């Protein structure tokens, strides 16, 4: 893979390239290198960029086209999920146990994946941002036990979803529905196309439209 010179982040102060320059293959690659410092991460998300790489590789930064998103208006809750929600067997909390949420997201087995993209550096970086109030978690409890949840970056009226997990059926869906329906966000970024989230109402938005909407909502 040939990486344009302008994509290499040589120093902590090297700016990201304009997102319109992102590669088509791999979809959305916009930069390589740099670090996961709070300033770098905040700058990235403000521009619609997020880190996504494998352990022991340099940090890779993406802004894919199109971008999968969801809004409260497009949220779809199936009949079976509505029935589960009405049972009141789950308790929802916010920011009550972020460290366990991210560690579950890091370690949980996922279909078709041998490993996760969440390495120790990412855990440390997002834990630091959580302490600053930039990263938020939603937790699902059953009989006082943590059974599901998600975490992501919050900015203005936008939530950038990072990862979710379930230890029992539907737990991550319940966390996701609560996030979209009840937490005041006008746009939830789901990053790339995902059939699981698509079934809940997520849809693809062209990158330029996503960036325009992001700029509007960051100010709210």
Domain residues of the chain, as ranges? 5-64, 68-219
pLDDT in tens, 124-157: 999 999 999 999 999 999 999 999 999 999 999 9
Whether this model's pTM surpasses 0.75: yes
Distance, in Å, from the CA atom of 164 to the CA atom of 56, rounded to the nearest integer, reads 23
pLDDT in tens, 59-94: 999 999 999 999 999 999 999 999 999 998 999 999
Tokens read off for 143: 């009989």
Domain topology for 68-219: Aminopeptidase (3.40.630)
Q: What is the CATH number of domain 5-64?
A: 3.30.70.3550
The answer to whether the 5-64 and 68-219 domains have the same CATH topology is no
What pLDDT is recorded for position 116? 66
């Amino acid at each position: 893979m040939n990486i344009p010179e302008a994509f290499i982040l040589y120093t902590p102060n090297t700016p990201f390239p304009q997102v319109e320059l992102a590669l088509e293959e791999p979809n959305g690659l916009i930069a390589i290198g740099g670090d996961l410092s709070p300033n770098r991460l905040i700058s990235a998300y403000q521009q619609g960029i997020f880190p996504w790489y494998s352990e022991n590789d340099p940090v890779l930064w993406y802004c894919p086209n199109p971008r999968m998103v969801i809004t409260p208006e497009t949220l779809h809750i199936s009949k079976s999920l509505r029935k589960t929600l009405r049972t009141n067997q789950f308790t929802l909390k916010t920011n009550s146990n972020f460290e366990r949420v991210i560690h579950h997201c890091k370690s949980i087995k996922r279909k078709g994946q041998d490993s996760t993209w969440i390495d120790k550096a990412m855990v440390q970086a997002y834990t630091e941002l959580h302490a600053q109030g930039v990263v938020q978690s939603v937790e699902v409890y059953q009989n006082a036990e943590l059974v599901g949840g998600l975490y992501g970056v919050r900015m203005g009226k936008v939530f950038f979803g990072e990862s979710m997990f379930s230890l029992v059926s539907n737990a991550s869906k319940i966390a996701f529905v609560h996030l979209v329906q009840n937490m005041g966000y006008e746009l939830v970024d789901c990053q790339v196309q995902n059939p699981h989230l698509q079934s809940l109402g997520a849809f693809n938005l062209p990158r330029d439209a996503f960036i325009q909407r992001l700029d509007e909502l960051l100010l709210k």
